[in-house]
Structure 1
């Protein structure tokens, strides 16, 4: 496997960063997870825009143009002869001292990995996923904006650990007001009385790229969609529930906290969303 690292392609065994890199020491950096479908990088420009916004929010000045990063991303896929892949694009603060001060890190570092990923077994995409609500709360947006896709995912990791302890593969995280924020790495959607509803970013949800695609798809298939506050009660009593994320793609939820969602099977609205999504990923984006 070839990894793009600071302007060069290196073998996997040689893809190394310094132990003094603040991305490692403090999670000081930003990243994007991106999908390649049959030679098409889905919504690459949107991912790179979000990367730029995340970097600006933490005052991380990237010395590369968007085109340079785009070209490097495409070339990483070509170097590895991939037509379908998950791409991890990471920008760290770079090497500094053992203190927190980011201004003592003169040069950021960038690396790009293109490989396979499978978050859940294939059968879960067909039969649906059983999930739980966990005690760990999503960080308050006033403390740390969920729009910043940073390298520090410990909040999500703690929730993932709790999900496993409860025997589930995924978990819903509530915010400090008790409203649904998101899952550990996915956005949450419910279908209730013919309408799709999802938490807003102000409730702690990431503005996911796949999430945005669902808004476009809903208009295409003629299903009303909106953002609103959601409680566990709302999810328990939804007709359908599904999750979206670049790594997870789109996956139906058939049980939450031991309660069946709808009739316990993936629903018709999800089926329409999934079919439309599969068409879009081949046409929207950048050909490598």
Structure 2
């Protein structure tokens, strides 16, 4: 039996839709030269973007923190997203909405970057193998650290992901599926591309943004679903000890969904996937079906 061909990726670039392979921006764009820009990643199901308004609220906050003036308002971006989904030959997929500083000169100074570039990619994205999704990921704690307080606020979803890339490279060398980042105080921040939750004695815990975690959209959804299901949930500073001794651990993200964790630094967790995660997976799927008809 032949496998169905993957849908052709498309790109909405400054108002025009083209095949992603044909989209192009200047090599002088500071997003390319210096990682100077912001982005959002979101899923769509049954051609309906999930929690698009929350992403369109966070994007201008990230841009404002970097002093980037968005050339399109939320309504224009919403229309661009809908037009792109209509063009895309797939009922479900992943969207990457990117805003760069725009083209300038070779110096760091962004003064000459007059017009930001905005593009949206529609494609498929898988963050873990089927086996890892079912049985759980193997995690390591990376040696690189997430800087908080003195560096870029982790609530800014910027294009500069070098710390996360270095962490993921460590995971690759160690034969792990993903890497966790600690902050400079040795406290848990998040995974390289996902937020983290643990369960202790039925209580759901996640690091606060002040410890270096992104204020993730899916993270917020899971906290709301937990409260609705009478699962106690709170933000709390966590250390590696808390991970090693957790009853459950899982990762969340717009791209990743909900991923169970089976072990951390070679230490198997008590359950994977655990009861709390399975309850939240069911509630998350029901919410997607309710909002997107999936």
Give per-residue Cα distances to partners, 1:99-139, cap 9 Å, x unaligned.
11222100000111111011110111111111111101112
Partner of residue 273, structure 1: 280
Unpaired runs of 5+ residues, structure 1, are: none
> Aligned runs of 1:1-288 on 2, under 5 Å?
1=8, 2-263=10-271, 265-284=272-291
Q: CA–CA distance in 1 between the matches of 2:20 and 2:12?
A: 9
Give per-residue Cα distances to partners, 1:57-113, cap 9 Å, x unaligned.
001001211000011011111111332001001010101001112221000001111
| TM-score normalised to structure 2 length | 0.94
Give per-residue Cα distances to partners, 1:212-240, cap 9 Å, x unaligned.
00111111111000011101101110100
Checking the alignment, whether the CA contact within 8 Å between 1:198 and 1:228 is kept in structure 2 is yes
Q: CA–CA distance in 1 between the matches of 2:289 and 2:103?
A: 38
Which 4+ residue blocks in structure 1 deviate beyond 4 angstroms? none
Q: CA–CA distance in 1 between the matches of 2:220 and 2:129?
A: 25
Unpaired runs of 5+ residues, structure 2, are: 1-7
Cα deviation, residue 13, structure 1: 2.9
Q: CA–CA distance in 2 between the matches of 1:79 and 1:135?
A: 43
Cα deviation, residue 140, structure 1: 2.0
Q: CA–CA distance in 2 between the matches of 1:12 and 1:255?
A: 37
| TM-score normalised to structure 1 length | 0.96
Checking the alignment, whether the CA contact within 8 Å between 1:42 and 1:282 is kept in structure 2 is no
Provide the secondary structure at the position in 1 that maps to 2:148.
Answer: coil
Q: Pick 1 or 2: higher relative contact order, CA cutoff 8 A, min separation 6.
A: 1
Checking the alignment, whether the CA contact within 8 Å between 1:5 and 1:110 is kept in structure 2 is yes
Provide the secondary structure at the position in 2 that maps to 1:137.
Answer: strand
Q: CA–CA distance in 1 between the matches of 2:19 and 2:33?
A: 24
Partner of residue 3, structure 2: none
Residues matched between the structures, number: 285
Q: CA–CA distance in 1 between the matches of 2:131 and 2:149?
A: 35
Cα deviation, residue 262, structure 1: 1.0
